[in-house]
Structure 1
Amino acid sequence: MKIPLSSIGSALPGHLSPDAGFEAPFDMLTACHERVHRMLRLLDRLQQHLADKGWDSQAADAARDVMRYFDQAAPLHHEDEERHVFPALLAQGTETQRSVVRRLQADHEAMAQAWPRARALLLGVRDAGAREHWQPWDDQALQVLADFSGRYDEHIRLEEELVYPAAQTVLDEPSLSAMGADMQKRRTLR
């Protein structure tokens, strides 16, 4: 089974896709969620490819792409939320909204802590260099990847269905413009 790397999109990690720009920061945040889902699907396909065929250069490329996304774009995305979305709801939201935001903040911390273990497994695939140098993943390794991936579905659902709509009602136009400008600036500085 060939891992179709072209299906992950051409936008670089942390950069906007053609349909989302800094002038519409919540559209950009949602587009980032779509890329998270694509990267997690690529990670699933990589696991299946490794189980079926073992290591090859396609597996190394896929591992590199997943690592690049979660090394670069995901931290920027979480910082966008931590700097602009969450504070607005913590200050002006309902108690339910504040509770959800605190949960999402804890999720960000748990994701940051889980990533190095998942990354180490992907690094082993990326850097194996040859089929005979790669050690197949055992059940514990697969669980690490499942734990990492599993943190995202409910997190994204809560953001898109509750937090983003609520934050958009409390952020005025100057705040949204400042949010977009800050998002752009932090990506330009990288």
Structure 2
Amino acid sequence: MLNPFATETVTFDTPVAMLIACHDRVRQYAALTETLVTHMAQHGADAAAIAGAQSILRYFDIAAPLHHQDEDDDLFPAMLALAQPELAATIREITAEHDELGALWQQVRAALLAVVAGNDNELTLTLAQEFATRYPAHAAREEDEIYPFASALLTSEQLHVLGRSMAARRGQKV
């Protein structure tokens, strides 16, 4: 099982790279929802399906909310204070998507809990595909439209503070 906080090439000393590493896991676990539906069509809610559902639940219940806090509480406010109007509008739009994705996650979460309970009928292909599409698309927008501006707008000290805050949120020290 993957550790949702582990990274092999980045540390909290490089907070934007850490956020991108989190996105890699978002893509992986979001895609796993589709794989899970395909698996259950052949095997039902067997031990492998239950383990897969549990790993998705673990990631999106623990690591994903921390990631959104990193952005919503630290990165985005720091950038908004310095951003040009177009970037500020993009940041506000992306922030609003966090609520939409949170609502989608609650639907997926309920379906995954049903899988863990042995029910293979709740996680539909339509729901899994929406989740596996929307979360990675959101991450790509952040990476393309917001993150590149972080190092231009924020000082190295602000980035260091961001990294420390991210680490503290996870009970780690930098």
TM over 0.5: yes
1:171-182 alignment, distance < 5 Å = 171-182=154-165
1:111-130 alignment, distance < 5 Å = 111-128=101-118
Q: Which amino acid aligns with 1:105?
A: T
Instruction: Establish whether residue 28 from structure 1 lines up as the match of residue 18 from structure 2.
Output: yes
Q: Of the two structures, which has the highest relative contact order with CA contacts closer than 8 Å and spacing of 6 or more?
A: 2
Unaligned residue ranges in structure 1 (runs of 5+): 1-5, 129-133
In structure 1, what is the equivalent of residue 121 of structure 2? 136
Structure 1 CA distance, aligned partners of 2:83 and 2:145?
A: 11
1:14-163 alignment, distance < 5 Å = 15-128=5-118, 134-137=119-122, 141-163=124-146
Secondary structure, aligned partner of 1:151: helix
Q: Which amino acid aligns with 2:22?
A: C
How many angstroms does 1:92 deviate by? 1.2
- Out of 146-155 and 104-113, give the one that drifted further: 146-155
Give the conservation status (yes or no) of the 8 Å contact 2:30–2:136.
no
How many angstroms does 1:88 deviate by? 2.5
Structure 2 CA distance, aligned partners of 1:66 and 1:154?
A: 18
Secondary structure, aligned partner of 2:170: helix
Structure 2 CA distance, aligned partners of 1:185 and 1:152?
A: 25
Q: Residues 91 and 61 (structure 1 numbering): CA distance in 2 closer, same or farther, change over 3 Å?
A: same
Structure 1 stretches (4+) deviating beyond 6 angstroms? Answer: none
Q: Which amino acid aligns with 2:145?
A: L
Secondary structure, aligned partner of 1:20: coil
How many angstroms does 1:144 deviate by? 3.0
In structure 2, what is the equivalent of residue 169 of structure 1? 152
Q: RMSD between aligned alpha carbons?
A: 1.7
How many angstroms does 1:53 deviate by? 2.1
TM-score normalized with structure 2 length? 0.91
How many angstroms does 1:135 deviate by? 4.5
Q: Residues 135 and 16 (structure 1 numbering): CA distance in 2 closer, same or farther, change over 3 Å?
A: closer
Q: Which amino acid aligns with 2:62?
A: Q
In structure 2, what is the equivalent of residue 3 of structure 1? none
For residues 142-180 of structure 1, the C-alpha deviation after alignment (integer angstroms, 9 at most, x for no partner) is 333333333223311221112011122111111111111
Structure 2 CA distance, aligned partners of 1:91 and 1:47?
A: 43
Q: Residues 94 and 78 (structure 1 numbering): CA distance in 2 closer, same or farther, change over 3 Å?
A: same
Give the conservation status (yes or no) of the 8 Å contact 2:78–2:154.
yes
For residues 61-116 of structure 1, the C-alpha deviation after alignment (integer angstroms, 9 at most, x for no partner) is 00000000000000000110112221123221122111111111111011112211
Structure 2 CA distance, aligned partners of 1:40 and 1:57?
A: 19
Structure 2 CA distance, aligned partners of 1:73 and 1:157?
A: 18
